[in-house]
Amino acid sequence: MLYIIGLGLSDETDITVKGLNALKSCERVYLEAYTSILLASKEKLESFYDREIQLADRELVESDSAVILQGADKVNVAFLVVGDPFGATTHTDLILRAREMGIPVTIIHNTSILNAVGVCGLQLYNFGQTISIPFFTDTWRPDSFYDRIKENRTIGLHTLCLLDIKVKEQSIENLARGRNIYEPPRYMTINQAIHQLLEIEESRQENAYTPFTLAIGLAHVGSSADQVIKVGSLQHLLNEDFGPPLHSLVIVGSRMHIVERDYMRHYVVDKEFDTIVKRDYNL
C-alpha cells in the first residue's frame, strides 16, 4: 500500500490518529520537502513517529518517483505531505503513477491553508480562485494571476494568495553547466508579495485592487505559539513585520459581510480600517 498522509500545518503532533497508525505500519517513509514546510525539524518528526524519514525533493518526486513506489505493492510505504495530500498537483501525479503500477493507494486527509485560512474571520464560501505568486526575477515578471484576482473581486470574492517557495533550486548558470549546486532556500514574505502586486497594478492599471484595498497577512497558521494575523490596507501591510515563514496573503473581496468585518477587527493594525470599510464596503 502507498499511504499519502497529510501532516497538517504546524508541528509533528498535527498528524491524525489514522495517519499515525498508518505511518507506523510502513517500512519506508518519505517527506515531501519542496512545496511547503512544517514548523518542526525532521529529527522531531522521526522521534515522534518512531520512524526514519527520507526527504523527498522535487527531482525525486517528479522525475524519479519509481524509487518511492518501488516495492509498494508488497510493503507499506508512506509519503508525507505538509497540509493535505491534495494541496499540490505533484501529489496527484504520484497517485496516478502508483495506480498505473497496480499499487493500492490510501489517502489520509488533514488541515491545509485552504481551509485553515478561515481563522482570519473571512467565511470560506466567500473565497474565489486561489492563486500562487512566484518570485520575480530580472528577466521574468509574470502577472497571469492578476486576472484571477480581478475575476474574484469583480464578483466580490476574497483571494487567497499562496507565496512562492524555492527549495533546492539551481541558478540558470549552474543548470546550464550541469553543476549540482543549489541556491539557499527562499520563502516569499507578505511584504515581497505586496510589493510585486502593487508593481503589477501600476503596470496594468485595470483596478483589480489599489494600495488601499484591504488585505490580511497570515504567518505560521495553525501554530498555537506564534501564529500571526494582521489586517490592513496593502499599502500598510507592506511595512509590517510578520516574522519567519511560511506566509500567506488574502486580498479581501468587495462583498465583505458585517460578521467578517467584526471578526477581522481583532487583527486590525491599520488605523484607516474603519474609513476604508465605510468607503469601499458601505459597512
Annotated binding site: 9, 84, 87, 112-113, 163, 221, 247
The DSSP result for the chain, as a single string, is: -EEEEE-BSSSGGGS-HHHHHHHHT-SEEEEE-SS---SS-HHHHHHHHTS--EEE-HHHHHH-HHHHHTTTTTS-EEEEESB-GGGSHHHHHHHHHHHHTT--EEEE----HHHHGGGGS--GGGB---EEEPPP-SS----THHHHHHHHHHTT-BEEEEEPEE-SPPPHHHHHTT----PPPEE--HHHHHHHHHHHHHHH-S-S--TTSEEEEEESTT-TTT-EEEEEEHHHHTT----SSPEEEEEPPSS--HHHHHHHGGGB--TTHHHHHHHHH--
Contact 134, 161 (CB under 8 A): no
Q: Binding-site residues for S-adenosyl-L-methionine, please?
A: 9, 84, 87, 112-113, 163, 221, 247
CB atoms under 10 Å from CB of 192, counted, come to 18
